[in-house]
Structure 1
Amino acid sequence: MDADWLVFHPDPKKPDFKLPKGAVDAHCHVFGPAAQFPFAPERKYTPCDAGKDKLFELRDFLGFERNVIVQATCHGKDNRAMVDACRAAGDMARGIASVGPDITRAELEDMHLAGVRGVRFNFVKRLVDATPKEVFLGIADKIKDLGWHIVVYFEAQDLAELEPFLKQLPTTIVVDHMGRPDVAKGVNHPDFQRFLRIMAENENIWSKVTCPERLSLQGPPYDDVVPFCAAVVDRFPDRVLWGTDWPHPNMTTHMPDDGALVDYIPRIARTPEQQQKLLVDNPMRLYWA
């Protein structure tokens, strides 16, 4: 484990907000355990162990019924830890994989049987090495017939350059963390308005209204991120997802309390109807239909 690594919260609070029946934590990860699932040699960080048993324990404690487990960059394209967690959870988990251009149809079908329903394309330069867009388009072509979608992770300053590429993708697209807007600029800044415009113009683009702990400049309770998340939920209630991001990789300032993060939900999805769509209807439609 990296010397400056922040370990997930050991004792989160019980949420005050009662999740609706069937709620899905639609963005979380597993790390290892390294003795069973070694981290990738090309990784940019070495985390603590945070395996499936801890994830499922948190799921039950917070009141979620299902998880969507996103492949962590510390595991590279070795999806075994994520797939193992999906298989262990049965129908209560789905997965998002990271794959290379050499992935075979048989390997994709095996992951599909385990519960994988999408691939993740990471454009955050501090986390992964650059990959040519043609490689991603080739992968997209391989997975579209399975009904999978594509998760994209990028930072706000890169969206203008990525927009033409996003329009080439043949599947549903889910953007991690609203494209990481700079909250210091405010919701009316052209950067965030570009993101809202792209969502309005492309009905195949969804967004995770997640990770206020990553985006906030103020820290808990993340008041400065609320207007961004609420703006997306208000405009696109049928195309939003929420997740804990447990075990919160690469946090540098603090480790969030996952129970407090659940209590953040009614501040951004302010009606029971919005909460039902965000936490149940939308993820069930995308991952379990």
Structure 2
Amino acid sequence: MMRRMYNLFLKTILFFIILFSTSAWGETKPMGFAIPFPDLRFSQSLSKGEQTYLGISRKREFSFREIKGDLILVELISTYCINCQRQAPIFTELHSLIEKDPALKGKVKMLGIAAGNNPEEAGVFKQVYQIPYPILSDPKFNIHMALGGPRTPFTIWVRKDAQGKGVVVSTHLGLTESADHVLAETRAVLQYNLALLKPKKGAIYEGDALMPPLPEEELLKRARKGMEASGGKVLQIDKITLKDGDSVYAGRVDFGTRQENLFSKLTSRRAVCDVCHDTFFIYTFDAKGIVV
């Protein structure tokens, strides 16, 4: 089974050549208190037991608002995140503690969302770690981005009002090392009087801006190298700032029998897991927008 997960991991390796990376540490602490929780929509099959647990009717599509419970504990994970794997047995224990407590059973529900993972990957994770609560897949990061794009694991406590609308009452970024700690927080937020809680505007999670770990001179060298990888020689290269504030490197490249304008763009991707590295890479394209 672990070999199967490893094979799935290999299939999801980025086809980009990673030029360099930077540590995920230094991230802004997530807040999100009193922020309305979006009415997320899910479109995937659940087992009969999972449908019964969430209190939803037997249908493929459902919304977050339809989930029955006073408090929904949302766990955002990535199946290949080491801390998410370490947290799995802790949250399984938490689920057991909740279900054994008459004051919490039926009122508190747990829901996992696998950011960037397809249904098969989410299913393998659930099977390998024997997760007793539903794990929904989010292969295109739609839900992940709707929640602010947090690193994983990221836990959100969501209270629901009489109309089923959710509001964030607590969050935690990173590995939780004790089920008792999460249980204590769960009991505490259940005591909040939602009538006295004034909703706030903003994002549930806001991370720091991604900054490349190399100076501008080195970025310029790498942009030049990308252009010359197509077989030409860069005659001139400049950094151009676009109207939206973004930037691109523009170069005039000599191919011997002709000269051509090529462009290089620095782009980045925030790491999904909390102890992984952000990815930065440069790609080169021609005036028609075709990557070369």
| TM-score higher than 0.5 | no
Bucket of the pairwise TM-score, normalised by the shorter protein? under 0.3
Please state which structure has a larger fraction of its residues in helix.
1
